[in-house]
């Protein structure tokens, strides 16, 4: 993989970047609404809330259907259903595991920075066969109060890695995540696993790829000239 040391760290969103979990979490959430509230919702109802953390992911759909959630129990039940749904079915997105390990081999610091809670992240890594220790830092939605599109999660990941945000590349698939990366001062590679190229560009993505198997070099001019404030 022809990667150069333009950046000092790579910050990975999880859903839509390392794994394609959106259909699975939507399946689990649909089942939870039916089981616990007797309400039939649709998988596509959750799309506007992708990348915003499970509280908003479930809460946004609950508002649409005038459902009063029983938190945290509804979320915990959704995670339990999710773990059942993904077992033996979830696969890495093309190139994901290899890209993470290549970054590590080249001496780049790495972090998972996901708006999901720790339980979902752990289930995903387990299915991928990636140990949490293969990352220099892990930040979940439980570690921050303001979720994407606020920059907090990427600022916290950079802080934990002791790397300036300007020296970080964020890999994202969600529009709110791209906005968060740019607001943090990071460069951003947008993957078209959830949204199209035009939408990702409009949100501020510096470069676009279909997946990490086709990611541009970290020294690609698409990322533009980095500037320190």
**What residues are labeled active site?**
13, 15
Q: How many CB atoms lie within 10 A of CB 16?
A: 23
Q: How many CA atoms lie within 13 A of 70 on its CB side?
A: 8
Question: Three-state DSSP class for 168?
Answer: strand
Q: What distances in angstroms separate CA 179 from CA 85, 137, 213, one per listed residue?
A: 30, 21, 23
Q: How many CB atoms lie within 10 A of CB 2?
A: 8
Q: Are 99 and 212 in contact (CB under 8 A)?
A: yes
- Tokens 């910050």 correspond to 11
Q: What is the C-alpha to C-alpha distance for residues 58 and 117, in angstroms, rounded to an integer? A: 13
Residue 82: both structure tokens together: 């999710």
Q: Are 193 and 36 in contact (CB under 8 A)?
A: no
What backbone phi and psi angles, to 5 degrees, belong to 19?
A: -135, 155
């Amino acid at each position: 993989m022809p990667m150069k040391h333009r950046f000092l760290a790579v910050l990975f969103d999880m859903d839509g970047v390392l794994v394609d979990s959106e259909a699975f979490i939507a399946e689990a959430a649909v089942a939870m609404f039916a089981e616990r509230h007797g309400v039939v919702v649709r998988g596509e109802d959750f799309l506007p809330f992708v990348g915003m953390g499970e509280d908003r992911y479930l809460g946004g759909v609950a508002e649409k259907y005038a459902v009063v959630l029983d938190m945290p129990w509804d979320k915990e039940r959704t995670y339990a259903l999710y773990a059942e749904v993904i077992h033996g079915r979830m696969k890495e997105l093309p190139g994901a595991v290899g890209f993470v390990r290549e970054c590590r081999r080249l001496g780049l610091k790495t972090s998972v920075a996901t708006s999901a809670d720790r339980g979902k992240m752990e289930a995903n890594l387990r299915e991928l066969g990636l140990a949490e220790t293969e990352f220099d830092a892990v930040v979940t939605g439980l570690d921050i109060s303001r979720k994407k599109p606020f920059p907090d999660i990427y600022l916290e990941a950079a802080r934990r890695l002791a790397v300036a945000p300007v020296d970080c590349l964020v890999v994202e698939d969600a529009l709110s995540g791209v906005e968060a990366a740019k607001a943090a001062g990071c460069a951003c590679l947008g993957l078209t696993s959830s949204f199209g190229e035009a939408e990702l560009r409009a949100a501020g993505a510096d470069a676009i790829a279909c997946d990490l198997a086709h990611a541009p070099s970290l020294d690609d001019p698409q990322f533009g000239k980095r500037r320190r404030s």
